[in-house]
Amino acid sequence: MVPEDVFALTGVADPRLHPDGNRIAYVVWWIDEEDREYRSAIWLAARDGSSPPRRLTAGEKRDSQPRWSPDGTKLAFVSSRGEEKSSGQIYVLPVDGGEAQKLTDLKEDPAELVWSPDGTRIAFMARVRDEAYDEEDDRKRAPRRFRRLSYKLDNIGWTGDRRQHLFVVAADGSGEPRQLTDGDFEDGSPSWSPDGSQLAFVSARDEDWDVTTVSDAYVVASDGSGEPRKITGSEGSVDAVVWSPNSPEIAVVYTAGVFDFPRHAQIGIVPATGGEIRLLTTSLDRNCSPFPSIRSPAWDGDRVVFLVEEAGNVHMYAVAAEGSARPELLLRGEQVVTGFDVVDGRFVHSAATSTTLPELYAGEERLTEVGAPFAEARELVRAERFSASSADGSEVDCWIVKPAGYQAGTKYPTLLSIHGGPFTQYTTGFFDEFQVYAGAGYAVVYANPRGSSGYSEDWGRAIRGPSNGQGPGWGTVDYEDLMGAVETAIERFDFVDPQRLGVLGGSYGGYMTSWIVGHTNRFKAACSERAVNNLVSAYGSSDVFWAFAGTLGSFLYDDFDAWVERSPSRYARNIETPLLVMHSENDLRCSIEQAEHLFITLRLAGKEVEFVRFPVESHELSRSGSPTHRVQRFEILLEWFDRHLKP
């Protein structure tokens, strides 16, 4: 794979079963190389594979979020067809013939579509703009005024004057959407009661909701009468709600604790009238809400189906709602489940491996070949799992990808790649970055050090602190784990050249890259991307970094010295490794001042450093940024490492 191959990437997403369980609606996405834009369409497939998949929609831009009506005759979806503006609209399409009917004319994209049980209405979420947005000339626009800390969000933009709220629209197009919630709050995850009279959703609506990191489940009348009623106890975070179709219970994704991160998300049950959350998945000791979010759990009769992060994989489980038995593993293997649905015990899912793009499956049967032409035309390299020993003897899950065109007896330059988070995991799924580096002649080592998800909660919490005795903090045992991964790879794989090592990572991975080169000269070149380098300034410039007090063990001004001590910028003058600093100018998670701070420090110290700034892009550049910029990013990275590791 070479950088330009970004334009050939494709895959399957968001499979949804027809109510009879026999047909599947799903999304196929690709990149239009001529327009250099993302595109998607909705397709249909027979669950038993008896007929070839067929394309259902022909939108010019993006069609997504297919949702079957309860009787299975119609499909609701979101499309940007015929729209000069970027926002999509809700359409309903008769599946067996007819034109799609447009239901909305919104200023912002609708999300999280859910049909009412009787099929007459569709609930959804959408952002509501302040009237000041109607003024297109920014020189005349009124200033923004905020009273909440949650006023911006990376990849979304300003949120304090365009909150997300709950809407309902008639499915036959007979009326305008009705807004059910309002106020200076953020709402999400709508779910209908079995009789259609109420909607559950997730929000935080207490007086100080923006400073507590708490969210709860709420219920509101679906006809717009009355105020939302909170049904959970503000003792943690409710992230998704799904009302049982057969009982007065609601399944929730729940994370316990307030300013006590990270903790495993669990599947729980709460009475629709309110009460204590009964957790069902604590026996797994695994995170039951993979990042990035894939979909809400799904009811299957009297049990709940959900996804779990497991040692680099994402697997599917089910658990009985009454909680009498351990969760049951439904789908295993070295793979990452990227979507699923279930009807009456019949499952479908989309999944990827290290050498296959996301495809559609029914059980073990593969129903699509969307990514097959891409894979067949290139030498994609399978990742090999191995275990490394850290300094204290801890065993660390690691992988290595050989260079494409590998020849035995040859030593290759090797890159250590570090994931973000830190409470995320590198997975066994397809990752364009590793294939591009392998295609350029590099071996790639990656690992899930302490602090990662996908393992025990103790593993994820091992780098908390250092304030208040919570733990050692970032840059301690995680650093030792990563260095152990490199040293073990050198010992075990004779093709790894110990004299030509590079290190790179983004976000927390960028933090660890900056930290590593400030503490060792083991690497010959490095790239710190979208990193947090100065925890002190990140506290006030990031959309959420102040909340990392729940990980560090204190707010900044309660233990200023600890925040300074854990900052890579504190050790920047020790850096001797040539460093590429890469950042996006619209990054709200790790502000570009984080890159500027490091670049200025190193340049004044006379170090070898280069600074690359991408216009327009957010923290998500490498994953969902402009395809053109994604290609340019790869080209810059390869040129940098080629210069230093391939003299």
The residues that are catalytic are 507, 619
Run of H or E including 459:
helix 457-460
H/E element, 622: helix 621-624
The Cα 108–Cα 476 span in angstroms is: 43
62 and 79 Cβ atoms separated by less than 8 Å: yes
Q: Which of 244, 101, 106 is nearest to 164 (CA)?
A: 106
Region of 626 on the Ramachandran plot (φ > 0 left; ψ -120 to 50 alpha; else beta): beta
Residue closest to 617 by CA, chosen among 510, 526, 530: 530
- Taking the C-alpha atoms of residue 260 and residue 255, their distance in angstroms, rounded to an integer, is 10
Cβ atoms 572, 514 nearer than 8 A: yes
Residue 453 dihedral angles phi and psi, to the nearest 5°: -85, 180
227: Cβ–Cβ under 8 A, 6 or more apart, which residues? 220
- Alpha carbon 227 to its chain centroid, in Å, reads 32
Report the alpha-carbon distance of residue 189 to residue 199 in Å, rounded. 10
The C-alpha R_g of the chain, in whole angstroms, comes to: 25
The CA-based angle 525-530-532, given to 5 degrees, is 95
> Contact 48/70 with Cβ under 8 angstroms?
no
| Cβ count within 10 A of residue 378 | 16
| 354: nearest Cα among 382, 377, 373 | 382
CB 160 within 8 A of CB 174: no
Number of residues that this document lists for the chain: 647
| Element holding 331 (H helix, E strand) | strand 328-331
- Own/partner long-range contacts of 28-36 (Cβ < 8 Å, ≥24 apart): 28/55, 28/368, 28/370, 31/6, 31/7, 31/627, 33/7, 33/8, 33/627, 36/7, 36/626, 36/627, 36/628
- What gap in Å lies between CA 347 and CA 305, rounded to an integer? 10
List strand residue ranges (DSSP E) for 69-222, in order: 74-79, 89-94, 101-102, 111-115, 121-127, 152-153, 157-158, 164-170, 178-179, 188-192, 198-203, 216-221
- 600, two tokens: 């200025």
C-alpha 351/C-alpha 359 separation (Å) is 6
Q: Is the dihedral of CA 112, 212, 153, 433 positive or negative?
A: negative
Strand pairing partners for 37? Answer: 32
Q: What's the N-to-C CA distance of the chain in angstroms? A: 22
Amino acid, res. 314: V
